[in-house]
Amino acid sequence: MAVALPLALAALLGCARDEPPPPIAAPPPAHAPTPLYTWEPEVLSAAQHLVRYSDGGDTADLAAAVTALKRSIRPGERQDFARLLLAWALRLQGDAAGSAEVLDGVDPLHRPAWDYFFARPVTDLGLLLRGLVAAGCAERDDLPGVDCTTAAAPPSLPADYPVWEQISWRSHSSDRLGGWSRTQRGRTATDLGRRIGLEPGVDVADIGAGEGWFTLPFAQLVAPTGQVWAEEVEPAYLDYISFAATHLGLDNVHPVLGAPLDAALPEASVDLVFVCEVFKWIYTNRTATDRAQVEATALPFLRSLRRGLRPGGRLVIIEHDRPTTSPKDISPAYLRRDAEELGFRFVEELPDYRPLQVTLVLERE
Ligand SMILES: C[S@@+](CC[C@H](N)C(=O)[O-])C[C@H]1O[C@@H](n2cnc3c(N)ncnc32)[C@H](O)[C@@H]1O
């Protein structure tokens, strides 16, 4: 994940070490925006030229973008985002060979998503870059070469943009997650949502929502009346889930800042609680056999999830399917044991959502 872990989470990670885990620190008291990206003014300035080019087709803007990008790329440094923008700009200038040469230096994992962008109208990419420049201007007031007085975020993005692409542009200013799109994670999030019963009107909580891979497709599935609570302990993720929701025109996504052992959901507020790859941050196979540890970590967390569920509501947990001897993971067998202790009924285990993962479906009795 791109965002630095706060101390409270670093403390939780101590569960995977040999010594007993340190006490869990209190969460930050308030939700303060955290910068998500180290903005490079020159790249943002180039992006702004490309936005202008996509608006008006003035080749002087294209040339200015190429100059700024060439200047900003330092030999030997990855700078994939700047390289991808440069490859795109050169292609627009008709320099296919120059574009291919620049792309040679880019991580091949990024290529599939980038090919996708190349196939789109220039105005679409202009919209994404407009959002990027606006986000940079909102976070920094010292961006030489960038005109922040005219930098406004677009009211919406093209409806058929894959959600994960929109998010990765916002959070990493690149298609870092192009590799993920190859595994079609974004698409299967929607499929999985349908499979676990998400349809218009269902209220859902996505616990440890991270970058919103599930939150946003789920919000689309349950709209217009269903609500999605996106819960996190890391405020920066909430910022950018809000950003992405706004740009997708989703008004049913509600960020919730939780505490490490309390998801802080309003009581009996949702029909389904979804938790993907979060439990292993709470406890691991190594601590799952220690009753005192389970009572201090997993049970309070599970209780907070149960409290947020309406009677008969479902708890869906995804974790890696590793043996109980794998110390850094939490086995679904322990999850099931502890959830059943708190009054959840095991319903089913779904076939792989992704290879090596298990999806447990439980019901609040
Ligand atoms: C591996 S990521 C999974 C993100 C998302 N669920 C997904 O599958 O794309 C784990 C996330 O859990 C969050 N997290 C860790 N401990 C948490 C806790 N006690 N409560 C809520 N979220 C937590 C982290 O901030 C991180 O975003």
The CATH number given to whatever domain includes residue 336 is 3.40.50.150
Domain shared by 313 and 200, yes or no:
yes
Report CA dihedral (354, 166, 174, 179) to the nearest 10 degrees.
20
Helix %, strand %, coil % of the chain (to 5): 45, 15, 40
d(CA 342, CA 334): 13
Closest atom, ligand 1, to C-alpha of 208: 22
**Does the Cβ of 237 fall within 6 Å of ligand 1?**
yes
Last residue of a domain, one of 133, 151, 174: 174
Q: Which of 32-41, 172-181, 234-243, 337-346: highest mean pLDDT? A: 337-346
Domain shared by 169 and 187, yes or no:
no
Question: Would you say residue 34 lies in a domain?
Answer: no
d(CA 315, CA 332): 13
Kindly state the average pLDDT of the residues 236-244: 76
Two tokens, residue 324: 């109980």
Structural domain range at position 245: 183-364
Q: Where are the alpha helices (DSSP H) in 93-184?
A: 96-104, 111-118, 122-139, 163-172, 178-182
pLDDT, position 9: 25
**Does the Cβ of 353 fall within 6 Å of ligand 1?**
no
Q: Report which residue type is found at 167.
A: I
Domain shared by 252 and 353, yes or no:
yes
Domain shared by 68 and 195, yes or no:
no
Contact 207, 305 (CB under 8 A): yes
What are 283-296's pLDDT values in tens digits?
999 999 999 999 99
- The counts of H helices and E strands in the chain are 16, 7
**Does the Cβ of 210 fall within 6 Å of ligand 1?**
yes
Query: 329 falls in which pLDDT band (50, 70, 90)?
Result: confident
Domain shared by 121 and 207, yes or no:
no
Domain shared by 223 and 262, yes or no:
yes
Question: Would you say residue 1 lies in a domain?
Answer: no
Question: Would you say residue 258 lies in a domain?
Answer: yes
Q: Which residue has the higher pLDDT, 233 or 159?
A: 233
What are 245-287's pLDDT values in tens digits?
876 778 999 999 999 999 999 899 999 999 998 999 999 999 9
State the burial class of residue 356 (Cβ atoms within 10 Å of its Cβ: 0-12, 13-18, 19+): exposed
Domain shared by 132 and 231, yes or no:
no
Span from the CA of 266 to the centroid of ligand 1 (angstroms): 19
* Number of folded domains that form the chain: 2
Question: Would you say residue 29 lies in a domain?
Answer: no
Last residue of a domain, one of 155, 174, 193: 174
3 state SS of 197: coil
105 has a pLDDT exceeding 60: yes
**Does the Cβ of 276 fall within 6 Å of ligand 1?**
yes
- Residue located nearest, by CA, to atom 20 of ligand 1: 260
**Does the Cβ of 277 fall within 6 Å of ligand 1?**
yes
Domain shared by 233 and 146, yes or no:
no
Domain shared by 236 and 162, yes or no:
no
Question: Would you say residue 263 lies in a domain?
Answer: yes
In angstroms, the first-to-last Cα distance of the chain is 35
State pTM to two decimals: 0.64
pLDDT, position 153: 74
Domain shared by 188 and 237, yes or no:
yes
Domain shared by 229 and 331, yes or no:
yes
**Does the Cβ of 333 fall within 6 Å of ligand 1?**
no
Question: Would you say residue 97 lies in a domain?
Answer: yes
**Does the Cβ of 241 fall within 6 Å of ligand 1?**
no
Last residue of a domain, one of 174, 207, 236: 174
pLDDT, position 156: 64
Question: Would you say residue 121 lies in a domain?
Answer: yes
In the chain, what is the greatest distance between 2 CA atoms, to the nearest angstrom?
A: 68
Two tokens, residue 245: 């929701």
Domain shared by 204 and 334, yes or no:
yes
CB count in 10 Å sphere of residue 38: 7
